[in-house]
Structure formats: C-alpha cells, structure tokens
Structure 1
Amino acid sequence: MTLEPEEITKEQGVVLGEFRFSFQGHSDANSTDFEIYRLIAEQLYEVDEDVIGTEDSIRNISENRLRDFYQTHYTPNRIEIFIAGDVDAASTIEEISELFHTWTTKDKDAPTQKVSPLSRGETSIVRVNDVSFPSTTLLFDLGANPMETATDFENFAAASILSNAISTRLNDRARDLNAPVQSTHAQLIQWFERMVLSIQVSYETPNQQEAMLFLGEELATLRDQGLSTPEIEAQTSDFLKLESTFADNYTARNYAEDHVFFRMIGRQTLSPETYKSLSTVFVNRADKAWFNKELKSLLTTKNVQSLVALEHHIYPTEQVKQEQLAFVADMQKAFKQTGNVLVLPDVVSDFPMPDKNGEILAIQDLDANTTKWQLSNGVTIYLRHMPNSGDSVHVYAGSKGGLAALPASLRPAALLMPGAYSESGLGGFSFNDYNRLMVRENAYLEPMVWEHLHGFYGSSTKASLPLVLASMYQGFQHATLDEEMFERHKTQFIKNKRQYLDSVDGKALMAVSNEIYDENSVRYTLTPEDYEKVSANDVRMAYNNLMRTNRGLVYVIAGDIPVDEFKPLARTYLAGMTFNDLPTESLYAVKLEPKKDELTIAFGPAGNNVELVTMFARDAEKKTTKDYFLADIAGRILTSRLTEQVRETGSLDYSPYSFVMWPEGADTQQLLIVMSSSVIKRKEARAALDEIADSIGHGATPEEFSSTSKQLSHALQDGLSQPQEQARMMFNYVLADADPLAVVNPDRVINTLTQEDIDEYLKAFTSKSATRIDVTNLPSGN
C-alpha cells in the first residue's frame, strides 16, 4: 500500500463518518449488548478505550504513525490465506508462491497482545441508550477455547446447550409467575478468544429489585434442582439438528468465512463432518446427571461479574452506585438461598391433528423440481423439491392482505394479534408446553402480520414437518384467545412501544412518517394510546378477518420432500381447512400525502451527526417478475454512485446507501437515498446527495447496468441452494403473481433485461407525476 497523503485525508473523513454512525447516529450504540462487548474487550485486553478511537485520535493521526503501524503489523509472517472451492491445490499453491515470494518481512516484530481473564466478582454500572430498557447481566468467564481437541468441543457443546436451556427456563418461569420483567435470556458469547456466558434480565426501573430477585431465585433453583429430562432432551435435540444442518449445508463460502472468523477469535476450524460426528457422540454420552452436574459447577463458579445498565436519563452518581450495589447484594443473597423444588412436566402429549381431509385437484410440473398444487378448498401449494437441503424443511403459508386489508380501526389489534394468540397457546397446549414440544421436535413456528401479507413461517426436520403443518392448521383455523394472556401481552407490548417512540429514533420515525403519510395510511405511526384502546374482541375480529379468511392462501414448501411423500400431508393438513372466501384485491393504497416537499426535524441523537434522506415516490402498477430485479438493480446503481462520490471522493459519510421500497400489492413504490454527515459539512453533504438525486433522471450508464446486473446474479447464487431463501422468495413472487421459476433460475430473467428497461425504471421516479421529499434530521441534544 502506498498510503498517499491525500488518500489518508479522504479516509479520515470516512472513518469519522463511521464514528458518527456508531456513537451518535445508530441505535445499537450504547445498547446493553454494546456495553457487554465493550466491558469484555476492556478487561481481556486491559484497555479502557473504544476500538475505533476518539474523534481527535482519528483527525490527528500522522502519516508516519499510520505507515509505521502498517509496516509493523501487515507482514508475511502474520498472513494466512484461505481458499475454498473446486480448485487444484498444487497449482494454486504454486501460483500463490509466485505472487507472494518477493514479499519480505521487516526487522520489527509486532507485539503480542496479552489476554486476561474477566475481573471476578465485580459490578459495573453503565448508562444505556434510550431504546434499551434497564437491565442486569451476569457474565460467567468460561475460559479460552481453542477448539483443538474433542474435549474443547464438548466444553463448547455443553456451554451452548446449557445457555439455551437456562434461557428457555427463565422465559418459561417469567411467564408462569407473571414476573415484572421485560425480557430475560442467556447467550453464549464466543469472542476475544474466550467463551463468556451472559445471563440477563431487563425491566422497568420501578421493578428493578423484584426482577433481580427473580433472576437470583430462579438461578438458585437451576443450580440446586437442575433441569428436567424434557428440557435436556429438547436442547440436545435442537443442538444436534443445528450441527447436522450446518454440516449438511456447508458450502465453500461457509468454509472460508468460518476460517477467517475463528482465526480472529483464536480458535481452530473443525470440518463439518467432525462437528457432526462429535455432536452425535457427545449427546449420546451425556445424560441428565452429567448436564446437571455441569450446570451446578457453572452456577457455583466465582468467575462471575455483574453489569447493571441504567436508563439513559439516570446518571451513575455515588448515591445511585450505592443503591445499585445494594440491589446486586440482595440478588446475590437470593441466589445463595436453597432453590425451590419445581413440578415440571416429564412428557409432552402429541399435538392434535386435523379431524377431516380434503382432496388434491391438480398437480402441475413447473420444472423438474418445482410443482404447483391446487386443493379442493382453494388453497394453492408450491413444492420446491431440493435434494441437497439435507434434513431441513421450510414453509411459508399466507396470502396478500395484512394490515392493508383491514380498516384503520383494526390495525392496532392486528399488530397485537400474533403475540396475544401466541401467549394464549395453541392446540390446547399452554405457551410453555407448546414451546417445549416444538424445541424437542426441532420445529419452529412464527406468525406474520405485515403491511401487505399475513400468515405463518415454519421450519422443521423432515420428521417434524407434520407438527409444523398441524400447527399452521390450528393457527389458521382454531386459535383461541385467552383474555388474561391478551391483557398481559398488551401491557408488555405497549411498554416496549412507548420505550421506542420516546427514543430519538422513535421520535424521528413518527415525525417523518406522520408528515408524509395520511393518517389512515397503513404506514402512519401508531401511538401507545392507539393500542390502549384495543379490546380482546378487536383482536378476535382482526384474526377472523385475516387468518380465517382466504384471500388466495398459498403454501410454499422447500426441502427434500418428493411429490408422492407430500401428497398425504397435503390432504391431511392443508386440504381440510375451511375459510370465508374473499377475492384478493389487486392493489392497496399507501396514501402518501406529504404536507411539505422539504422537511427538517431535530430528533437525531446529541452530537455531530446529521441524517439526510431523499425519497422519490411514484405510482406503481401490478408488480411483475422484471420489477423485482429492476428495483434491486436500481438500488445497487445508486448505492454505487453514493459510495464513489460521497464516500471515496467526498469523504463525507461511512456507509451511504439506496434502496427501493415496494411491497407486493402496494400502489406506490419509493426510492430512498440515505446518508449522514457532520454538522459542519451539512451543506456539502446535501449538495452531494442532490447531485446523486438529479442523476436519476439520466438513467444508468451501460457500465453501471452491466456491473450491477452481474452483482445481483452473483448475490442470488447462494440462495439457489438454501431452502429457506428459496421458500421465502417464491412465496413473495407467487403472492405478486410473478414467475416462481425466476427464483429457481434468476439469470433467465436478468439476461432479458435491457438498458432501456433500467433507464425507463429510473427516469420514472423523476417524472412530473412523481413526488420528491427531502428530509434533514438534525441533532436534538435531548
């Protein structure tokens, strides 16, 4: 690298943009997770500064200092090259040797950084951003894990399984006890060459002591009474599925990325076959007694540290610190008491099956591995047979509709609906029992109520696919709402919504969306007061309007499921459903009604960061297959222009980007260009953004069109072998009446696109009938 002075100056501007993005313009900055990683890094590496440095350190770094760092650390003796793919090893090594043999090492050796363990028994008190609830986190240092031996793998496997088991137990107990917590979870952090277990509970400030006592008491119960057989079987089964799926779907890209990542954290990379083999041996050998012994050992270790995160407006004065230390002492006292004996279920009954079947009217071959089915009740199925997908199966089921299909008065109820019905349980099972069953059977179900569609997403092994289909059947046909659970979920939902809308991000969203959309628009931001008005009957009405009504219900299934194997499943779980039929609507109104074409607000975080957005909106007809590709290419072309002009040439921003927002069925499509800048360069940044915006009307250059088309083709290649991605994309395409085979063979469509297509697509955003809105979000200082 030549490290030319003018290039260094440009890159300083880019890194300053990253600094603003990370610490002044992004909601993740100073989140609880951010503070956890910062704390671990500070202690393991014995530093007390952020990795990115300070504004002064970025501005004032000298050319000589940068060159000295480069020459010290970027040396051949520190380089590893990872290549994965269908290559000949001998000739590749010969080529590398030829290219790199002249690179000689310098006399200086880069220093080796000492890694220290976490501080034991200490308590850290920090403030977090306004999006985060206050919380208490326990960090358990599990030591270094180089992953060099079978024992290392067993330690990792045990820690992974136990962290998930702890997380599930805490969530179950919080729900059973109606504990005053916002959320609770455990996770295994593999970073900085060590494994660290994080156990966290978040809460509202008035409930802090009660929530922390809940955590102490429940961990004491886990330590003294252990996990039940179903809990352990569910987590070990889930772990086996994860490792098996990982091995069965391992690609050359996975191999290269894993090598790079694991080398960064000081671990060896095992082959996927080794992962699978070691997982099976471990799970077959480790029994309930072994896991509970490991759990007790983990929870009695002294290598534990507490991190208390305060609300953003509470400053850690000495008085506050003493109060927090007293709360921690009370939690530790509760933990030292003998844990309660719990009555836990030893078995989970089978899930109820549909009571009647239906018929398959027709099966049409779309290509060698894709079929379209029509059932007697009007349901359509697309089955994507993927022999390379291993044991995993992915299912999307639903139809057009979503919030846009409901009157504005029912939209708050529809957003409360998924959580309220989930909390109420399914198929006669309580939420906890149903969740235990799904984990045990390696199955997953998630309800979807989006702007433009509604339904379910599910994943499973081939053996547990009937459970997922039966769950969807119950979800569409027979879900019941428990009013007590509804009220509990509603309270929690409103707390989370209010927390977000009171944050700078939430205030900015509300200010912009409510300025440019009509109050009856599906995108108008709802307030906590809107949700307060929702009754249980409103939620039932939303459920009947969406889940119990057929607006063109489609199932898309991707996995190694041949047609003949799926026939009995289709008759049993899909064809027997009955609905209130309603024809699909071609388009729904976004109701874009801007009050101004230039909007300046002041809801950004305090600091030096200004957010700039230019939005073009135009009427949209029915979305076609070509439109999916043209919208993606348009976003790539403008992002490329932003990168070149705003980042590389102007040094104004770290990560400017552009994208098209056009949900299936919407009557409006919007092109957004987004960037940020420092306050002092706000005019330069707006001028640069205007230049990009003005260039849209000229269309694309042949070079831009050619390169971005190739980028899109390359980006879609990985998804061709991934069953979830195939199911997701095909689901979206068929809901828009687009060609499902474009998902299977995207190049067939990309190759038909012309320069005229992309020029016409871009220019339409600047036509006389289109709308342009410029938004500037200044720092508020609040």
Structure 2
Amino acid sequence: MKILKPLALAFLLPFTAEVATAYESSSLITEAKVILQKDSLKWDAKLPFDNEVKTGTLKNGFQYYIRKNVEPEKRVTMYLAVKVGSIVETEKELGLAHFLEHMNFNGLKHFPKNELVNYLQKAGVRFGSDLNAYTGFDETVYQLPIPSDDLELLKNGLQVMRDWAQDAMLEDSEINKERGIIMEEMRGSRGAMQRMRDQFLKVLVNGSRYADRLPIGTEEVVMNFDPKVIRQFHQDWYRPDLQSIIVVGDVDPVYIESEIKRLFSDMRVNSKPKERTEYKIDLINKNQFVKVTDPEMTYTIGQVLIKHPEEKVSTVGDYRRSLMEAVYNQMINSRLGELSQSANPPFIQGGIDIGEFMGGLDNLSAFFVAKPGEFEEGFKSLVRELDRVDKFGFTETEFQRAITALNKNNETAYTERSKKKSDSYVNTYLDHFLNDGPALSNEDRYQITKQLLPSLTLKEVEAIGQKYYVDTNRDVVILAPDAEKDKLPDEQTVTTWFADVDKEQLTAYDDKVSDLPMLSKEPVKGSITSEKSIDKINSKEFVLNNGVKVVLKPTTFKNDEILISAFSPGGTSLYPDAEFMSASFAGNLINSSGIGQLNTFELQKYLTGKDVNISPYINERSEGISGSTDKEGLKTAFEMIYGYFTEPRIESDVFQGIMSKQLNMLANRDNDPNFVYSKATMNALYGNNIRRIPYGKEELEKVNQERALEIYKDRFADASDFTFFIVGSITEDEIKPYLENYLAALPTTSRKETPKDLGIYEPAKGKEVVVNKGKEAKANVRLSIYGDYTYNDVENVNMDALEKVLSTRLLERLREEESGVYGTGARAGYSKNPKPRYSIHVSFGTSVDKYQSLIASALDEFKKIKANGPSQVDLDKFKIEEKRQLELSLKENGFWMSQLLSAYQLGEDPTYITRYLNDLDKVTVKSVKDVANKYLKEDRLFKFILLPDAPAK
C-alpha cells in the first residue's frame, strides 16, 4: 500500500507508556561486522560479504543482490531501493519524493492507471501488507513479495521492478487525483505529536536540513505543484546509478540474474547527472534544551540525547565495540526495569540506549515517562542510574548474565539459520546498499560472535558508557500536556539537577541473586491414561491421570521452537461485577511477580540465557497459559507451568507498583481526542458496564491484592478441565516425560464449570453518536453493525468474503475515485459464544467537509453489494489470496496453535482446516450477496463520528 512508513525518527518521538521499555540488544549482533580467518580474529580486518549472495553492477551503475532461500517455499521477495528521499528536495519540491512513490502505483509503462494493483491482487498479492513502499529522508524503497512457482507472474514481478525504476507514466489526471489522497495521509498524522515535533525537531537535528525535509512534505507544494516539476524530479533522481534490486526467495539465481540484465541494462543514463549530496548533521559542541506542551498530550516525557560522531561497523574491532554497546544497553536497562517494578517507581517507564541517531551521528538516548507532577523525581532517578554506572560500574554477575544472553541469541539464530525467512535477508542487503551496512553469512556471524563474546571485559563495557555519557552535545527534551506547563523546569533548573545528582552520595548497585530452586518441592509424577491419533493433521491427543488433556502437533517448521498454550472454561465471567477488577488484574499481577521461591527480580535473572517465556492469563470466558520455549528450556518451561498452578504469588511491591502506574496513566487521558471518542463509542454500545468501558480511578481502587490472588488460585485450582496444546519441533517421545512429571501432577478438584453468559450485547437499533474533541480540522468515522449470527463453517467463509470484497470496493470508491481518504476498509467479526454474534465495521479519516458525503458513498456500496453481490473479479481476488495465504500459514507453528486452540475452545473439529478449501470453492457471487442482505442491516447501523472541538460561543 502506498503508505509513508514511520520515519527513522524513533528517537524524536516520545515513548508512550504502552511501549515496552526493553531494548532488543540482540539485533546488534546481527548487525555487527567481523571476519574469521584461520580460527583467529584480526581486529582490523574488513568484514566479509555473504558468500551465498549473487551480486553485480550493470554498466549503467544499477546494482543487484540475488539469493536463493526456501523459507517460505514457492515465494520470492523483491525490493527496489532508490538512494533518493526527501532530503534532496528543493523548496518547490517538498513532498515530491513521497508523492512520486505514490505515483509508481498509479500508472506504469506496462501497467497503466491502477492495473498494477489489480493485476497483483488477481495473483493473491495483498495491497498494503504485501505490495508496499515507503519514503524516508535518504531513500525510497518498494517491496513486492510474490509467488515464485508461476513463471509468468515471476517475470511480470521483475517487470514491475523495472517500471518502478524508471517508467512511471506520471499523467496529469492521476497526479491531480493523488493530491487529495496524500492530503488525507497528511491530515491523518496531525495531532499533538505532530504539533510538538514541529517545535522540537529543529533542535534535535541541530538546525540542519533534516528539520525542513519531512517526507510528507507541505500542503502548499502537494496541492499546487506543476506536474512538470515531479516529472523533472523523476528524471533527475530515478536513475540506475542510484538504484538496486534485491531478490531473495525460492528462485534460480542464474535465471534471475539473466532477467535483471535483460530488463535493466537499457535504463536511461543521464549525460549530466545531478549531484547526490550527502547531507549530515553537524555537532555544535554545546548543550540544548527544548520544552514543548500541547493540550492533547496525555503524558509527560523527559528525554536526554547525547550525540556523537557516527562509528560505522566495518571491522572486527568495530563489531566487538557494537557487542559491548549491546552488553551495556542490556545491563543498564535491567536495572531500570527493577526500578520501575518497585513499590513506588520514580517514573511510569524508562529506558536507555546507545545506538544510531541519523545524519552521520550516533547517540546515547535516555527517556522516561514521568508520573504526573513528579517530573523532577523521574528525571533525577534516570540520571542517578547513569551516574551510578559511571561511578561504580556494573557487577561481574550482571556482566556474565548479559554475555550469556547474547550468546544464547547467537546460538538460537544459528540453529534456525535454515529456517530463516527471506525478508530478514532482504533487509540486510537493503542496509548494505543504502548504508554500506554489514551482510555477514550465517556461518561468519555465528563463529565470529562466538569467538568475540568471551574476549569482552567488564572494564571495556564500562568505558563504552563513560565515552557516551558526557555533558557536551547533550539535548534535553521535555514534552508534556498543557496542564503540566507550570510544573516543568527551565534549562537552568535542569542543569542544576544534573549537578545535584552528581553530588549525591550514591552507593554501588547490589545484584541480588537467589541460589534457591524455583519450586519448593518436586511434583509427584503422574501418568498418561489414554492416547488418540488425529491423523488428518498429524496430531495426537493424550489424557492424563488427573484429567488434563494434551494435544500435541510435532512440526518441522522451525528447528527448535515449541509453542505451549492451555485453557480452561470459566474466566472473569464467574465473578460478580464487584470483583471484576480484581479478577481482571489477577493474571497480570501473577505474571509480573515471581514464582515459588523466586521473587520477580530473582526469576528474571534465573531466566537469563533461557529461551523460555510462560505467562498465565485470565480473560472473560477462560483462563490458561501461553508461551514458548526451545528444547533446552523445556524443563524450565514446565517448572514454570507447574509453579503458576501450585505456587503463584503477588508481591506487594509489584502490586503497589502496577497500581501506581495505572493510576498515573489515567491523569491526562481525557486530553486525547481518540480516547474520548472511544469511550463515547463504548458508552453508546454498553452503557456504563464496568466490563466494557475504560476503567477510571474509582474502578482501579477496587482491585484488591488478596482477593486477586484468591481468584487466581481458584481459577487454577482444578487442572482436570484444562486442555494443553504443544506445537513445534518436539517428538512424542521427547514430550511424554514432561507430561507425566509436570502436567499429570497438577492439582484437581474434578469440578465442572462453564463460562457465564453476562448478557452484554449491543443495542438492537443503531444510532448516530457525534463527539467533538480535538484541535485539528479532521473527521474520523466508524460505521458499525451488530447482531445475531448463524455460526457455521460455510457462513464464516462467506462473511470473510464479504469483508474482503467490501474492503476492495470501499478503497476503490473512497480513495481512488473520490480522493477522500488515505486508507479505509471493512472488518467483519463473528463469534460463537456466549451466543452467536457478528459485527461489521468500516473506518476512515477525512476532512470535516467530506465526511458526510463519504458516509453516503460507503452506504451506497453496501446497497450495491446487497443488490448485485460482488463482481466475479473481486470474488476471485479473495479466493486466490486466501489460497496463497493458506499455503504460508500451514507452515507456521503459530497458525496451528491458533487453529487447535480455537477448535477445542469452540467444541469444533480440529481437522476442519483440511476441508477449508472445499468450502472456499463453494463461495459464489450469490452466496456473498445473500450474506450481505442478511447482515448489512440499515436499522442496526451505528455512526460514530469524531469532529474537532465545537466553536466557542
């Protein structure tokens, strides 16, 4: 889909309280660069390029990367990269790099008008999720994953790449239609964050060109540029010396290379090419401060960025340095994680990262989400931890855990190398072309990392932090709601805070590690009492002596991945409204605490270096376990499962910390137009039902620690009605000892339970709800229909077809024909329990003056599909997409886990998926038309509309 992906500006945007604080330092390993020579590492040696990739450069300068990879089978991923983004634009071209990206979908030499999307959809390629592109500051990238088992489609896919490279038609009529679409994309991004970014961005990029070259451009240029300008931009920059194709997948590299030479060798070469200037951000060798507030901001963010010249990773020494940065990031964020889980955390969330910035710079970035009215404490606590490391360093035990974790990541990546997806290779070669990034082979990466990790020393890692944590080229950025404005510090105050913390009598970090085993006692071994094969899906069902049921599906989709899930009927539905909050928080509180003899911090340290993740949950109609492990971690995984049944705990510090954060996150949420809109929607549908509306302070105060633990223990007291599912690289013989030693030992009371029908359903008659909230002149619309449903396999696949064909028509009508939206579509949902119900939703954003006409257009499409059914072409697109996606899904552990879990929860045949294509083939224009008439009921239509603040009277 012609979507402007998020800019490479994560460091410029506040981290929300919903964003995970942990940084994935393991990715630095895959990006690091080293070389192995005769079993010894030469630290000044250049890094080797992946020897399994066929590369070359045509005479015109066009480059290519080709690699055969069979994961997924019968698929190939193609990228076209252009070293041109918004940074090269002149004042009269602002936004045209991005606009040109859009135009490459609106008429090519071999695919006029919208024929490109139409053709690829007929081949099962999804517009938006498969077919896509993005524009950044320095590059534009087009992506096309397609089936490779159809030679004509493969050839045409390469032809698409060739047309993208230089043969956009750029017709006036198509350009003028696209202006409105891009304006809606621009309009959709407007809000508190965009308004604040406009104020702080220039500071962060040191007043450089980047501040005035956001890829989306400006309204003035987008709506008024002469088409001749974009044609000249295309001629200047879409040229072979700035382009590369990357092809990875189940293909013959020799054939692909021959086709690339045939298609791309005749590309136009400019006799006097325009110079491609490399723009950078200069260090200014001084500190900066910026404070921005907005009435719609919902939380207060503090961020400290310390900029440094970029250090490329191109030698063994560089790679070793990047490993040390990864170790530093992991250790300091572990400390912050402990701090945030304390009974009275100093901030809602915080994190620190040494990594890439932009414009030729690296940086140390530290951020925190402040508790309302407590910015100083949050700021000082973050700085205090940086100072603590600076003064005392890390402990040896912290260091060894970090090394262990990185080593585990390296081993896991190597184990799964034969199952590595093509997309991951494509991204590596894309970085190599665009940024001269590393492209190591799997073998080199593994062997070199394995040799380098033991060579790292604690003193060197501490020196990395001391190098980055300095008091020059430091920016302090504060983003906050208007209501916090008077409580925020000025620059001098912040400077004083740095000095105050520096003078504090800090103490060294105490790394508390327990030597106790997780469980206080070993389970009493049970037995398997019966077995039943489910041959159609190569699965087996076991019943244990305590009544626990286990469904096993061994697979070879991954070399060492085992997914585990379990459920039992019941959930929060069995508890009265007065206890709902305690019941709904119980699973999270247990999951955030320790198990057995280990508290939460001891458990986290115990799990270091183990690829194990097991979590309990309680939802409305069931409770259970979900997670994953590898074979090495199986024992730990089953110990955790047994512990969550028999030795759960809610630690007081964890309880107080979670409740504190939850309360703090409520403080300014009514500033957010989207929250107010969502709340009004839920109120219209469910009144003030505590189980559906967003909870507030009054509801949070009803969460009781003791009662939450009691409810949890009650839900997990009887394992006899639990069904476990195990999917992945495990055999029957390998899993049986764990079933007997742990699952068969789980406690039982042999009670029979069924979830309660709470009677919470949407009103039978629709209505219109208008919410006025927000400064921006834009409208958001959601059209929703709810009602009773005929739940069966045939009805379900026809409802899926209705969703797809309606989405196609809405996109064509509202976006392509009327240029009124950036994105839209239909979403259909259906459920069997507690009684069969369905919902159909259509959502879009647009301008205030267009929303009513677009609602009318959407409803007109409802009428057309009810009167005529879908076109056969649109129906065929749905069918081929379903078939192509099923080919991929059938080779994913997660898909099978979802299928099995759903079938057993709903009491359905787990082998249905083997018959799905038969039902799919029976879907017709008439059957979809019938479903449309049955469920697109006008009297059940809800119109939820968000408009800007009403004018003051």
TM-score for the superposition, normalised by structure 2: 0.74
Q: Is the Cα–Cα contact under 8 Å of residues 340 and 348 in structure 2 kept in the other structure?
A: no
CA distance in structure 1 between the aligned counterparts of 2:858 and 2:205, rounded to whole angstroms: 37
Match of 1:17 in 2: 184
Residues 779, 463 of structure 1: alpha-carbon distance in 2 compared, 3 angstrom cutoff: same
Out of 117, 120, 123, the residue aligned to residue 289 of structure 2 is 123
Match of 1:708 in 2: 878
The correspondence of residues 498-647 of structure 1 with structure 2, limited to 5 A, is: 498-520=667-689, 522-549=691-718, 552-581=721-750, 583=752, 585=754, 588=757, 591-594=760-763, 597-620=766-789, 624=792, 629-647=797-815
Q: Does 1:85 align with 2:249?
A: yes
Match of 1:736 in 2: 906
CA distance in structure 1 between the aligned counterparts of 2:180 and 2:894, rounded to whole angstroms: 40
CA distance in structure 1 between the aligned counterparts of 2:916 and 2:395, rounded to whole angstroms: 48
Residue 775 of structure 1: CA displacement?
Answer: 1.5
Letter in 1 for 2:251: V
Moved more, 336-345 or 641-650: 336-345
Match of 1:358 in 2: 526
CA distance in structure 2 between the aligned counterparts of 1:136 and 1:460, rounded to whole angstroms: 36
Letter in 2 for 1:253: D
Moved more, 193-202 or 524-533: 193-202
Match of 2:339 in 1: 173
Match of 1:208 in 2: 375
Residues 233, 513 of structure 1: alpha-carbon distance in 2 compared, 3 angstrom cutoff: same
Moved more, 696-705 or 544-553: 544-553
The correspondence of residues 182-201 of structure 1 with structure 2, limited to 5 A, is: 182-187=348-353, 190=356, 192=358, 195-201=362-368
Match of 2:498 in 1: 331
Residue 182 of structure 1: CA displacement?
Answer: 0.9
Q: Does 1:655 align with 2:823?
A: yes
| Structure 2 unmatched runs, 5+ | 1-167
Moved more, 256-265 or 702-711: 256-265
CA distance in structure 1 between the aligned counterparts of 2:517 and 2:695, rounded to whole angstroms: 40
Residues 521, 127 of structure 1: alpha-carbon distance in 2 compared, 3 angstrom cutoff: closer
Residue 568 of structure 1: CA displacement?
Answer: 0.7
Q: Residue 81 of structure 1: SS of its match in structure 2?
A: strand
Residue 265 of structure 1: CA displacement?
Answer: 5.2
Match of 2:229 in 1: 65
Q: Does 1:4 align with 2:174?
A: no
Residue 191 of structure 1: CA displacement?
Answer: 6.0
What is the number of residues matched between the two proteins? 774
Residue 691 of structure 1: CA displacement?
Answer: 1.9
Match of 1:113 in 2: 278
Q: Is the Cα–Cα contact under 8 Å of residues 718 and 750 in structure 2 kept in the other structure?
A: yes
Residue 685 of structure 1: CA displacement?
Answer: 1.6
CA distance in structure 2 between the aligned counterparts of 1:697 and 1:404, rounded to whole angstroms: 37
Match of 2:386 in 1: 219
Q: Does 1:375 align with 2:548?
A: no
Letter in 2 for 1:233: Q
Match of 2:8 in 1: none
Q: Is the Cα–Cα contact under 8 Å of residues 344 and 656 in structure 2 kept in the other structure?
A: no
Match of 1:152 in 2: 318
Residue 128 of structure 1: CA displacement?
Answer: 6.1
Match of 1:280 in 2: 450
Residue 87 of structure 1: CA displacement?
Answer: 1.9
CA distance in structure 1 between the aligned counterparts of 2:212 and 2:257, rounded to whole angstroms: 42
Q: Is the Cα–Cα contact under 8 Å of residues 76 and 104 in structure 1 kept in the other structure?
A: yes
The correspondence of residues 365-444 of structure 1 with structure 2, limited to 5 A, is: 365-367=533-535, 369-444=538-613
What are the superposed Cα offsets for residues 192-238 of structure 1, whole Å, 9 maximum, x if unpaired?
46554422121124211111111121111122222233333333333
Letter in 2 for 1:714: R
Match of 2:405 in 1: 238
Residues 502, 320 of structure 1: alpha-carbon distance in 2 compared, 3 angstrom cutoff: closer
Q: Residue 387 of structure 1: SS of its match in structure 2?
A: coil
CA distance in structure 1 between the aligned counterparts of 2:408 and 2:919, rounded to whole angstroms: 36
Residues 414, 270 of structure 1: alpha-carbon distance in 2 compared, 3 angstrom cutoff: farther
Q: Is the Cα–Cα contact under 8 Å of residues 305 and 363 in structure 2 kept in the other structure?
A: yes
Q: Does 1:461 align with 2:657?
A: no
Q: Is the Cα–Cα contact under 8 Å of residues 400 and 584 in structure 1 kept in the other structure?
A: yes
CA distance in structure 2 between the aligned counterparts of 1:372 and 1:62, rounded to whole angstroms: 67
Residues 31, 620 of structure 1: alpha-carbon distance in 2 compared, 3 angstrom cutoff: farther
Match of 1:680 in 2: 849
Moved more, 522-531 or 329-338: 329-338
Q: Is the Cα–Cα contact under 8 Å of residues 38 and 50 in structure 1 kept in the other structure?
A: no
CA distance in structure 1 between the aligned counterparts of 2:839 and 2:206, rounded to whole angstroms: 43
Moved more, 589-598 or 440-449: 589-598
Letter in 2 for 1:641: R
CA distance in structure 2 between the aligned counterparts of 1:487 and 1:748, rounded to whole angstroms: 54
CA distance in structure 2 between the aligned counterparts of 1:113 and 1:47, rounded to whole angstroms: 15
Q: Is the Cα–Cα contact under 8 Å of residues 611 and 778 in structure 1 kept in the other structure?
A: yes
Residues 201, 53 of structure 1: alpha-carbon distance in 2 compared, 3 angstrom cutoff: same
CA distance in structure 1 between the aligned counterparts of 2:648 and 2:199, rounded to whole angstroms: 40
Moved more, 63-72 or 347-356: 347-356
Moved more, 424-433 or 361-370: 361-370
Residues 135, 767 of structure 1: alpha-carbon distance in 2 compared, 3 angstrom cutoff: closer
CA distance in structure 2 between the aligned counterparts of 1:613 and 1:38, rounded to whole angstroms: 36
Q: Does 1:472 align with 2:648?
A: no
What are the superposed Cα offsets for residues 479-523 of structure 1, whole Å, 9 maximum, x if unpaired?
123445424422322222454355322211111111112544743
What are the superposed Cα offsets for residues 430-482 of structure 1, whole Å, 9 maximum, x if unpaired?
11111122234232233433444432322233211221222122223331234
Residue 21 of structure 1: CA displacement?
Answer: 1.5
Out of 934, 937, 946, the residue aligned to residue 764 of structure 1 is 934
What are the superposed Cα offsets for residues 651-673 of structure 1, whole Å, 9 maximum, x if unpaired?
11111122123356353221111
| Structure 1 unmatched runs, 5+ | none
Q: Residue 116 of structure 1: SS of its match in structure 2?
A: coil
CA distance in structure 1 between the aligned counterparts of 2:502 and 2:351, rounded to whole angstroms: 17
Moved more, 449-458 or 648-657: 449-458
What are the superposed Cα offsets for residues 412-437 of structure 1, whole Å, 9 maximum, x if unpaired?
22232233334442212211111122
Q: Does 1:305 align with 2:470?
A: no
Q: Is the Cα–Cα contact under 8 Å of residues 226 and 296 in structure 1 kept in the other structure?
A: no
Residues 421, 701 of structure 1: alpha-carbon distance in 2 compared, 3 angstrom cutoff: same
What's the Cα RMSD here? 3.4
Higher helix share: 1
Q: Percent identity?
A: 17
Q: Is the Cα–Cα contact under 8 Å of residues 445 and 458 in structure 1 kept in the other structure?
A: yes
Residue 264 of structure 1: CA displacement?
Answer: 4.7
CA distance in structure 1 between the aligned counterparts of 2:795 and 2:907, rounded to whole angstroms: 12
Q: Is the Cα–Cα contact under 8 Å of residues 404 and 451 in structure 1 kept in the other structure?
A: yes
CA distance in structure 2 between the aligned counterparts of 1:31 and 1:609, rounded to whole angstroms: 18
Q: Residue 468 of structure 2: SS of its match in structure 1?
A: helix
CA distance in structure 2 between the aligned counterparts of 1:712 and 1:519, rounded to whole angstroms: 39
Residue 333 of structure 1: CA displacement?
Answer: 4.0
Letter in 2 for 1:692: E
Residue 332 of structure 1: CA displacement?
Answer: 4.9
What are the superposed Cα offsets for residues 728-777 of structure 1, whole Å, 9 maximum, x if unpaired?
44333432234444568965764565556544444331259x83212211
Letter in 2 for 1:11: E
CA distance in structure 2 between the aligned counterparts of 1:746 and 1:259, rounded to whole angstroms: 38
Moved more, 376-385 or 476-485: 476-485
Q: Residue 189 of structure 2: SS of its match in structure 1?
A: helix
Residue 694 of structure 1: CA displacement?
Answer: 2.8
CA distance in structure 1 between the aligned counterparts of 2:228 and 2:599, rounded to whole angstroms: 65
Q: Residue 206 of structure 1: SS of its match in structure 2?
A: coil
Q: Is the Cα–Cα contact under 8 Å of residues 604 and 610 in structure 1 kept in the other structure?
A: no
Q: Does 1:251 align with 2:430?
A: no
